[in-house]
Homo-oligomer: A and B are copies of this chain.
Amino acid sequence: MSDKLKLVVWSREDYELRLSNIRRRLEQESIDALLLADNSNIYYLTGRVFAGYIYIPRQGLPIYFVRRPVEMEGDGVVYIRKPEEIPAAIGMMPPQRLGLELDVLPYSTASRLAAIFPEAETVNASPMMKQVRAVKPPSALQMLRESGARQTHVYNQIPGLFHEGMSDFELQVEIEHISRMEGCLGQFRISGDSMELYMGNILAGANADAPSPYDFAMGGAGMDPSLPVGANGTLITPGTTVMVDINGNYTGYMTDMTRVYALGTIEPLALKAHQCSIDIHRELTGMMRPGTPAKSLWERAEEIVTRAGLKAYYMGHRQHAGFIGHGVGIEINELPVIAPRSRDIIEENNVIALEPKFVIPTVGAVGIENTYIVHSDSAERITDAPEEIIYFDR
Give me the interface of A with B, judged by CB distance under 8 Å.
Answer: 5, 9, 37-39, 43, 47-52, 67-71, 100, 102-111, 124, 126, 170, 173, 176-177, 180-181, 183, 185-187, 189, 193-194, 196, 198-199, 210-215, 219, 223-228, 251-252, 318-319, 330
Q: How far is it, in angstroms, between the C-alpha of A172 and the C-alpha of B138 when the chains are bound?
A: 32
A106: contacting residue among B48, B103, B228, CB under 8 A: B103
Chain B residues within 8 Å of A170, by CB? 181
Given A68-B213, A105-B107, decide whether A51 and B194 contact each other with a Cβ distance below 8 A.
yes
A49: contacting residue among B110, B183, B225, CB under 8 A: B225
Which 6 pairs show the lowest CB-CB distances between chains A and B?
A: A226-B252, A69-B211, A186-B198, A107-B110, A48-B225, A102-B107
Q: Are A105 and B49 in contact (CB under 8 A)?
A: no
Q: Are B194 and A39 in contact (CB under 8 A)?
A: yes
Q: Are B71 and A193 in contact (CB under 8 A)?
A: no
Q: Are B226 and A68 in contact (CB under 8 A)?
A: no
Q: Shortest distance in angstroms between A98's beta carbon and chain B's nearest beta carbon?
A: 13
Q: How far is it, in angstroms, between the C-alpha of A126 and the C-alpha of B219 when the chains are bound?
A: 29
Q: Are A51 and B215 in contact (CB under 8 A)?
A: yes
A-B contact pairs, 20 of them (CB 8 A): A43-B225, A48-B226, A48-B228, A49-B227, A49-B228, A50-B213, A51-B194, A68-B319, A69-B210, A69-B228, A70-B319, A102-B106, A102-B107, A103-B108, A105-B107, A108-B124, A109-B193, A176-B176, A176-B180, A225-B252
Chain B residues within 8 Å of A109, by CB? 107, 193
Chain B residues within 8 Å of A39, by CB? 194, 196
Q: How far is it, in angstroms, between the C-alpha of A194 and the C-alpha of B70 when the chains are bound?
A: 17
Chain B residues within 8 Å of A9, by CB? 225
Q: Which of A48, A49, A177, A252 has the most CB of B within 10 A?
A: A49
Q: How far is it, in angstroms, between the C-alpha of A330 and the C-alpha of B173 when the chains are bound?
A: 23
A212: contacting residue among B68, B111, B126, B177, CB under 8 A: B68
Q: Shortest distance in angstroms between A392's beta carbon and chain B's nearest beta carbon?
A: 20
A104: contacting residue among B106, B111, B215, B318, CB under 8 A: B106
Chain B residues within 8 Å of A100, by CB? 107
A-B contacts besides A106-B193, A189-B196, A226-B252, 20 pairs, CB < 8 Å: A38-B194, A39-B194, A49-B225, A51-B194, A51-B214, A67-B213, A68-B213, A68-B319, A69-B213, A70-B211, A71-B318, A102-B107, A102-B111, A103-B106, A103-B107, A108-B126, A185-B223, A185-B224, A187-B226, A225-B252
A215: contacting residue among B52, B68, B103, B228, CB under 8 A: B68
Q: How far is it, in angstroms, between the C-alpha of A51 and the C-alpha of B254 when the chains are bound?
A: 25
Q: Are B37 and A194 in contact (CB under 8 A)?
A: yes
Q: Which of A51, A69, A212, A213 has the most CB of B within 10 A?
A: A213
Q: Which of A170, A211, A228, A252 has the most CB of B within 10 A?
A: A211
A186: contacting residue among B5, B199, B318, B330, CB under 8 A: B199
Q: Are A193 and B68 in contact (CB under 8 A)?
A: no
* In the complex, residue of chain B having the shortest beta-carbon distance to the beta carbon of A221: B5
Q: How far is it, in angstroms, between the C-alpha of A16 and the C-alpha of B109 when the chains are bound?
A: 33
Q: Are B187 and A181 in contact (CB under 8 A)?
A: no
Q: How far is it, in angstroms, between the C-alpha of A109 and the C-alpha of B38 when the chains are bound?
A: 16
